[in-house]
Amino acid sequence: MDKIKRGQHKESFLNGILKENPLLVQILGLCPALAVTKSLETAFGMGLLFTFVLVSSNVIVSLLRKLIPEEIKTPCYIVVIATFVTIVKMFAEAFLPELYSSLGVFLSLLVVNCIVLGRSEAFAGQNGVFDSFLDGCGNGIGYTWAISLMGIIREVLGLGTLTIGKVFNFFGDPLTLPILKSTVLDAHGDPLYDFSISIFQNPAGAFIVLGLILAVMAAITNHKKAVEKAKEKAAKEAAKAELAAKAALAGGAK
């Protein structure tokens, strides 16, 4: 029994990270994913705040699931989610003002984010507190890594540099890594080299990056399926050959 429970807990946590990743597999939460992934730090910050809202609302919804009458479930879930979004907004405005200004209206829009509401309805409203907590963590981590990946790609391709410490400004001056664009200027004030492509900073670039990531994910999944199929086929053929050999042996003996 314990083993089954442990397996369930593990599944609740791991599913959201890769197998049922909310962004890359379920294609949910696209609006913030396209809008706030101009830079790694903004995307990561959004992921962190999103995870906090998701975990907290999942836990509270799970705690209240037996007390809330069926007909007012959705309004109650929205009130719970809106409360945590407001709290997160206040904390971000107080302690991460740069992140708060970068996220703009998309932080408030977490109230109607389909992942948060979907997990409350589909999972937390029907499962225990610990499983809901793990589900929130898993989906939060899954969403965070997915938008952070988009953020890295868009920042590097679109700006040519990767900046760390501008939004999470706790350790002095931000560090800018020159990847596709030099931070050293020539005599005319232009960078020594610049291979950045500005479209990746625009919404169109966000669609292109998301499309590419989805294509890579699909290619990996298809490859895995093909390998599994080939293995199954090989196993079946081996079994057939074994049967045939056995039959031939039996025939020879007669």
Partner 1 sequence: MNKYLKVSLTLATIASGSALLIGLTNLATYGFIQVNREKKISDGISKLYPQVTGYGIHVFLAPDDEKYEPEFDAVRFPHINEVYHVEWKENGENVRHYVYNTSGKNAYGQVDLLIAVGGGKVEQMYVVTNTESYGPTLEDNYINKYNNGYLTDLADVKCGATYGAKTVKEQCDEALAHWTAFYGEEAK
Residues that bind partner 1 (CB under 8 A): 35, 64, 67-69, 71-72, 75-76, 79-80, 82-83, 86-87, 90-91, 93-95, 97, 101, 104-106, 108
Nearest approach, Cβ of residue 104 and partner 1 (Å):
5
Nearest approach, Cβ of residue 165 and partner 1 (Å):
18
Find, among 150, 29, 25, 50, the residue nearest to 107 by Cα.
Answer: 50
Around Cβ 254, how many Cβ atoms within 10 Å?
4
Q: What are phi and psi of 181, to 5 degrees?
A: -140, 130
Q: How far apart are CA 170 and CA 96, in angstroms?
A: 10
Nearest-5° Cα angle at 166, 160 to 168? 130
Q: Which is nearer to partner 1, 116 or 141 (CB)?
A: 116
Burial status of residue 165 (CB atoms within 10 A of its CB: 0-12, 13-18, 19 or more): middle
Q: How far apart are CA 33 and CA 43, in angstroms?
A: 8
Nearest approach, Cβ of residue 7 and partner 1 (Å):
33
Q: Which is nearer to partner 1, 15 or 57 (CB)?
A: 57
Q: Which is nearer to partner 1, 50 or 100 (CB)?
A: 100
Q: Which is nearer to partner 1, 17 or 96 (CB)?
A: 96
Nearest approach, Cβ of residue 49 and partner 1 (Å):
14
Nearest approach, Cβ of residue 219 and partner 1 (Å):
33
The DSSP code sequence of 197-213 is -GGGGSHHHHHHHHHHH
Q: Which is nearer to partner 1, 24 or 80 (CB)?
A: 80
